Structure 1
């Protein structure tokens, strides 16, 4: 199958080939996809970073000539600052965000702080929990957007995935998938900075994830990216004076 990459700041990935279909995720600038199928003016893709499938409007992708760039273990240069301008083939500079993948031919603005990783893997050896939390704080106030994974709108699992991507760690897209990774932590009092807390609904299905700042606080996307209190019951929202999410499990990646 051919491969392509995004040359736009963020591209909606939809559940079905229609502008009215649910947006299930987003493709960031420089991220690559495998072309799976075509239907009218739509392209079905599978993302290289997290193997997520969905539909993208035709014309929003650029075919890749050097297919080695799509390999999961290929070297990646990632934007680590919230926003930057890229000068590429478009008439005007493209505004890109945190977690975008920078190509060798890209001319990035001076404000763009980047970091190069030889590959992405699921390991804690090279992860700085402090840096992950610092990056999370940069995104405080970002509006919640179902299916979003950019600084312009983000959901809970997209938020966590993006933070770990910038740390060189590949996590799956959805919260329930992320909950299958890492080692379980038995008690909230034993949680450390950078651990992940997962929450379930009344049916027992995991439907939310938050980044643990310390044993008493989390940062998560709920309405917007915010900091809230946590205990063994779950997340407590001081603004409304009640618990909003029921704690299911804590994982250390």
Structure 2
């Protein structure tokens, strides 16, 4: 085993030896809390992180440093370790505690594994609880619509605080000609450029999309490297990509491809429309579903394929996928 780097040791000491940051201690004592970093990564169990994962464990996180520092082998090493990710401001239910780690269920990520949301382990240091933020649940929110966006500490938009992901939702507070003021999970204010976001009164107020609009959204991420368990504009896995595209348009589907394949309306291959989901399974398409893509029209599909590639558009009849085709589902009414 490689020796731990000095940087990683420093990170572990900060995370495990110095207690909770402001807000995290109260969060850890409650049954629910809110993600207080741009992207929180959930693990299958505590204490299985590697030195290369240090940027994903800090507060704040550095997602680009993490994803861009990994070799292909290190990316593949995440496959047996990660569950999912949660975005800044996502609500979680705390299920279990083990030292500085908490097992949580991420609200809004449906799975048969837990009725409250997708489960996994994360550091309590990346959670917070603020009564004012909690009271904003169900109120108008700002939805990030750029692949990633910067939060600023004032309406002048001169001083950046952090970079957050597409599909992040933060309570709407105020606006100027060029920016929206939002409430952060810690109860403080920040600003985001209007060009990077939209305001909605509620989840139901998001206009129902056409299939073409879903495909257009997916194209925003062309060239983005794959990340196992990824759920953000910093990296997606296959079902994280389709889930996020749909949820950003007001439609929540199951988190995992194998479950996405069981819902919606079955669609014959010759009747595919843009936005339909295509599924691929082991054993020549007869086994367990392991991949999902979105039909892009004209015989093409858009997907986040694997750790060696990026979000791309390819023909549906590409041989490596055609031989594993296991059916299609339509989630649009």
TM-score bracket, normalised by the shorter chain, equals 0.7 to 0.9
**RMSD over aligned Cα atoms:** 2.5
CA distance in structure 2 between the partners assigned to 1:59 and 1:162 by the alignment: 25
**More strand per residue: 1 or 2?**
1
Counterpart check, 1:200 vs 2:281: yes
Counterpart check, 1:32 vs 2:66: no
Counterpart check, 1:248 vs 2:316: no
The 8 Å contact of residues 161 and 171 in structure 1, kept in 2 or not, is answered as: yes
Counterpart check, 1:9 vs 2:22: no
User: How many residue pairs end up in the alignment?
Assistant: 238
Q: CA deviation at 1:110?
A: 4.1
Counterpart check, 1:119 vs 2:184: no
CA distance in structure 2 between the partners assigned to 1:43 and 1:92 by the alignment: 30
Point out the structure with max Rg over C-alpha.
Answer: 2
Q: CA deviation at 1:76?
A: 4.6
Counterpart check, 1:54 vs 2:120: yes
Counterpart check, 1:94 vs 2:162: yes
Residue-by-residue CA offset, 1:223-248 (whole Å, 9 max, x unaligned): 210101014xxxx0xxxxx4245110
CA distance in structure 1 between the partners assigned to 2:320 and 2:274 by the alignment: 21
Which of 23, 26, 33 is 2:82 aligned to? 23
Q: Secondary structure at the match of 2:252?
A: coil
- Aligned structure 1 segments of 4 or more residues deviating by more than 3 angstroms: 66-70, 73-77
Counterpart check, 1:226 vs 2:312: yes
Report what 1:239 is aligned to.
none
Counterpart check, 1:128 vs 2:210: yes
Gaps of 5+ in 2: 1-29, 50-79, 110-116, 154-158, 173-182, 184-189
Report what 1:211 is aligned to.
294
Q: Secondary structure at the match of 2:270?
A: helix
Counterpart check, 1:163 vs 2:245: yes
Q: CA deviation at 1:111?
A: 3.6
Gaps of 5+ in 1: 237-241
Q: Secondary structure at the match of 2:213?
A: helix
CA distance in structure 1 between the partners assigned to 2:139 and 2:261 by the alignment: 26
